[in-house]
Structure 1
Amino acid sequence: MNHIVFLDRDSLIANVRRPALEHTWAEHPATSAAEAADRLRGATIAITNKVPLRADTLARLPDLKMIAVAATGTDIIDLPAARERGTVVSNIRDYAYAAVPEHTFALVLALRRNLMAYRADVEAGKWQAAPRFCLFDHPIRDLHGSRLGLFGYGALGKQVARIGRAFGMEIAVHTRTPVREDGVVNVSFDELLATSDVLSLHAPLSDATRNMIGAAELATMKPTALLINTARGGLVDEAALADALTRGVIAGAGFDVLTQEPPVPDNPLLTLRLPNFILTPHNAWASMEAMQGLANQLIDNIEAFVRGEPVNRVA
């Protein structure tokens, strides 16, 4: 009989059905890294969203046969250690194909049309005191005819591109493998930086992508460009971005992720009070529909593993 332990159940607001297999089930609202090994003692299947399982923890869990990650990112798992121990690791894929792209464009549109600045103006009484019927103290830019640059072209990048086309944007992509698709221009990373009016990141965090956009890269972007990150914290040097936004190196940025989450109080992006920067608390993925789809796929992954047909394997 399988014993399944969900380490951070409160991270998923959805109906999590019980797997159609003989099992026992335990769940915890949240779990610290230090508590993980004790709570997983005797477990054959672990479910974790953001609780890290490193090599030292896995070494204490001889019964563990599967780790079901309740997310797409698997950087919280020591994958080489899991492989060495024969522990299957499966993740969730393509569940936020609507939620994340919609959030991406919510950020883009708010920044491109300066909605934050205009809301502040209305709250400050500037429209009420204006000599004309309208107020246009901040530039408003159309998306139509502009270039949408995408770093990464997986399921989410492709959906962002589809929305961009609907707005009449030109799509430029930088990926390891060139995209063979009508209406997509393949460009180098340098050209992506230099020519994008909106640059949106859709790549995993790895040694190769960590801080891939820093002060030098920001300086090559258009001064009218927007930088959007709904992918992973750590892709952008946060101190460099805060400086670039303060000095007007780029026009604006919209982020849903930070290097450390929950963020530490001295994160340089938390102290920004600029109308051209929007920070949301890593909830681009968290529509009700997306979370339920994630929960359904999570249990599908477990059932497939127990049948001997594991899916969505990363280890």
Structure 2
Amino acid sequence: MKLVIIEPLGVAKEKLLDLATATLGNQVEIIYYDTRVTDTVELIKRGKDADIIAVSNLPLNSEVIEGCPNLKMLAVAFTGVDHIAVDTCKAKGITICNCAGYSNAAVSDLVFGMIITLYRNMLSCNEVVRQSGTKDGLIGFELEGKKFGIIGTGAIGLRTANIAKAFGCEVYAYSRTVKENTGLIYTDLDTLLQTCDIISLHVPLNAHTKHLINAQKLALMKPNAILINTARGPVVDSQALADALNSHQIAGAGIDVFEMEPPVPSDHPLLHSINTIVTPHVAFATKEALEKRAVIVFNNILNYLNGSPTNII
């Protein structure tokens, strides 16, 4: 069996290959690429002889999948798989396994980093001190007592909810599946948007969630509310959000994900909206999370080889 690691996985090459060898032994021949390419022809060249491909968030379209005739398994070093031609994989009987759970702590950390940065005017405070200024006009807000809305109560959503409760927030939730005994107040989407001071998105991208947060939904939010998106960019209508921010319809936003992977075009509306923090899709990217992810990738491959695949999409 030939395993192609088609792009870097965020762990030093030597450490990654040592981990792969320790987990998989001599069951596979490993080919490792330490550069990231997006050209379809080059991706096919890299993967055409592979039985298994390990990939992070590099888009693998139908043409790439069709161009890899030996492919039997995709080990996706990511939680979401909207960058993979899933239907083509299913049609060809290719098993897809993801790495659910590796970034739960990392993503939740960034959510609260963004919230506190917005609530306590951290960016402006940093600038004003450097310009010999004072706290005038920079009085912030506390998390305690705020109504905190979680949209999507999977593992990351629930972890975020638990942290919010530790800050003393009253936590509301909207999700396709209601989780029992969580201490969350489940409600419909419109009620959550109308009620909450902070709204954090934790849903996958699919036909039902694209532009889930659009102009009509933003109009329901409080003028003092902030929106945090560490899920997927297209879950939010970016232009509608920028318009809501610039017209003071809502108070602020923290955005880690866009319609495309960074670099984000300079004319993107959320790069020019007020009281907006933007980060380059880094919520998952901590040293600890990337190492957890590599462990899951190779365990997924091992379980597949042993006939008991895990984390199947």
TM-score tier by shorter-chain length is over 0.9
> What's the offset of the Cα at 1:266?
1.9
Extract unaligned runs of 5+ from structure 2. Answer: none
> What's the offset of the Cα at 1:182?
4.7
Report the AA paired with residue 12 of structure 1: G
> What's the offset of the Cα at 1:206?
0.9
Give the whole-Å Cα distance in 2 for the aligned partners of 1:182 and 1:207: 28
Extract unaligned runs of 5+ from structure 1. Answer: 128-134
1:120-178 Cα shifts (integer Å, max 9, x gaps)? 22233222xxxxxxx24134111111111000001101110111111100010001122
1:60-89 Cα shifts (integer Å, max 9, x gaps)? 222111011110110111112111111111
Give the whole-Å Cα distance in 2 for the aligned partners of 1:73 and 1:21: 30
Give the whole-Å Cα distance in 2 for the aligned partners of 1:21 and 1:166: 47
Report the AA paired with residue 287 of structure 1: T
1:130 counterpart residue number:
none
2:69 counterpart residue number:
62
The percentage of counterpart residues that share the same residue type is 36
Count of residue pairs the alignment pairs up = 303
- 1:125-204 to structure 2, matched below 5 A, reads 125-127=132-134, 135-204=135-204
> What's the offset of the Cα at 1:33?
4.0
> What's the offset of the Cα at 1:230?
0.8
Q: Residues 6 and 80 (structure 1 numbering): CA distance in 2 closer, same or farther, change over 3 Å?
A: same
Task: Give the structure with the larger helix fraction.
Answer: 2
Q: Out of 114-123 and 172-181, give the one that drifted further.
A: 114-123
1:92 counterpart residue number:
99
Give the whole-Å Cα distance in 2 for the aligned partners of 1:269 and 1:66: 37
Among 10, 16, 19, the alignment partner of 1:12 is 10
RCO higher in structure (CA 8 A, sep ≥6): 1
1:230 counterpart residue number:
230
Q: Residues 182 and 44 (structure 1 numbering): CA distance in 2 closer, same or farther, change over 3 Å?
A: closer
1:312 counterpart residue number:
311
1:240 counterpart residue number:
240
Q: Out of 229-238 and 26-35, give the one that drifted further.
A: 26-35
> What's the offset of the Cα at 1:237?
0.9
1:8–1:49: 8 Å Cα contact kept in structure 2? yes
Give the whole-Å Cα distance in 1 for the aligned partners of 2:46 and 2:189: 44
1:132 counterpart residue number:
none
1:98-127 Cα shifts (integer Å, max 9, x gaps)? 111111101111111222222222233222
Report the AA paired with residue 26 of structure 1: I
2:205 counterpart residue number:
205
When normalised by structure 2's length, the TM-score is 0.93
1:267 counterpart residue number:
268
SS in 2 for 1:98: helix
Give the whole-Å Cα distance in 1 for the aligned partners of 2:66 and 2:217: 41
Give the whole-Å Cα distance in 2 for the aligned partners of 1:182 and 1:244: 32
1:301 counterpart residue number:
300
Report the AA paired with residue 143 of structure 1: L
Give the whole-Å Cα distance in 2 for the aligned partners of 1:3 and 1:182: 44
1:131 counterpart residue number:
none
SS in 1 for 2:96: strand
> What's the offset of the Cα at 1:12?
1.6
When normalised by structure 1's length, the TM-score is 0.92
Among 12, 15, 37, the alignment partner of 1:31 is 37
